[in-house]
Structure 1
């Protein structure tokens, strides 16, 4: 049986992925016209969103495994398309980061940004990434718990259905045995009635024969008395 709830959950993840993909694309496009620290921040934000998109794809893949074969085949092509898009975005980000690092190294040689500012920005970025990672982990744990709960409920319902089917099977077998016993009793009764009918016919024939003989004897006696 198909699983509409699972398919809807997959499509919900897909919508989340499409939204974050648009954001990543916009950030990568914006970084092309930026330099220095603004470009680094934009690329770091794009990197975080790519991590989030990867988490979403993992959830989509898990949902695919929980779907029946008919739905899984239909949605796998869309999943592969999303995965290919994300790989292209990762390559674009990697090229942009390489360009940014080259530009940053050149700026440092020319007396660019101070090391203190870079350390503060890196510290803030690391803290932000840790917080985002914790949130994603909590959300993934919640989704796994929901999936486990649904699996337990499905198992309980399946066990109840199997119990009902077992009881119905026993009732059918009992009814069949009862019908077989009734059929056997009817056959015996039919044979008994046929035997009784034959005996009654035989008795009637014997009685008729006796009556005929008696009538013949009476007529013979009368004839002898009258004409003898």
Structure 2
């Protein structure tokens, strides 16, 4: 989506630059009808591009949508200004669809020069605005890319923490099981020890009894 909007923005910049150049030719070029037709066609194409960019901006990410809307507003204002300038220049030298040599060469030189300067200034402002918008758009893409990378890093860290927590739980469970096994072994060890002590006592008692019987027998 972002690459598509950028492509439309580049096409729009080319169209507006061509419109500006052709408006400047209206005061000097002989075949003015074809130039006017080309300008009108370019204006329609630029308007269509703006409509497509408007639709695409509505489907863009919420984080960059306000900047795209600002960019579109600037494009619309620039196209409106170029359309007004074109209308002004056309109406100055065009009447009822036909040009007259007298109208062309009898027009006020000062007005023509003023229009040329205005067109050059507009072209320079358009170029500066286009560069600023391109720079801003690249910053938006870079910011979006950085934000996406940060989210990926955070997601990776969250997964790592979750795995560590699971391993800690497993370790605690294993330690609990080991503790129970050791306790059982200790109990069995004490039981075995008591049994051994009992056997030893019984053995000693038996020996004492046997010795006593033997002594008593010899005494009798």
**Scaled by the length of structure 2, what TM-score is found?**
0.51
C-alpha separation between the residues in 1 aligned to 2:98 and 2:67?
Answer: 50
Residues 69-148 of structure 1 aligned to structure 2 (within 5 Å): 69-72=62-65, 75-100=68-93, 103-104=95-96
Residues 192-211 of structure 1 aligned to structure 2 (within 5 Å): 193=185, 195-211=187-203
1:45 corresponds, among 38, 60, 64, to: 38
Q: Is the 8 A contact 1:40 1:100 kept in 2?
A: no
Q: Is the 8 A contact 2:15 2:42 kept in 1?
A: yes
C-alpha separation between the residues in 2 aligned to 1:18 and 1:223?
Answer: 128
**Higher helix share goes to which structure?**
1
C-alpha separation between the residues in 1 aligned to 2:65 and 2:5?
Answer: 10
Alignment partner, residue 32 of structure 1 = 27
Shift of 1:33: 4.0
The C-alpha deviation readout for 1:32-59, integer Å capped at 9, x for no partner, is 3468xx4444323212111101111222
In the alignment, does 2:211 pair up with 1:219?
Answer: yes
SS of equivalent to 1:104: coil
Shift of 1:27: 1.8
Q: Is the 8 A contact 2:26 2:90 kept in 1?
A: no
Change (3 A) 1:106 1:190: closer
C-alpha separation between the residues in 2 aligned to 1:82 and 1:62?
Answer: 15
Alignment partner, residue 153 of structure 1 = none
Q: Is the 8 A contact 1:20 1:49 kept in 2?
A: yes
Unpaired stretches in structure 1, ≥5 consecutive residues: 1-5, 109-177
C-alpha separation between the residues in 2 aligned to 1:203 and 1:41?
Answer: 118
**Scaled by the length of structure 1, what TM-score is found?**
0.50
Shift of 1:63: 3.2
Q: Is the 8 A contact 1:47 1:93 kept in 2?
A: no
Judge which range, 214-223 or 189-198, deviates more: 189-198
Change (3 A) 1:100 1:41: farther
Q: Is the 8 A contact 1:7 1:71 kept in 2?
A: no
Root mean square deviation, CA, Å: 4.1
The C-alpha deviation readout for 1:121-140, integer Å capped at 9, x for no partner, is xxxxxxxxxxxxxxxxxxxx
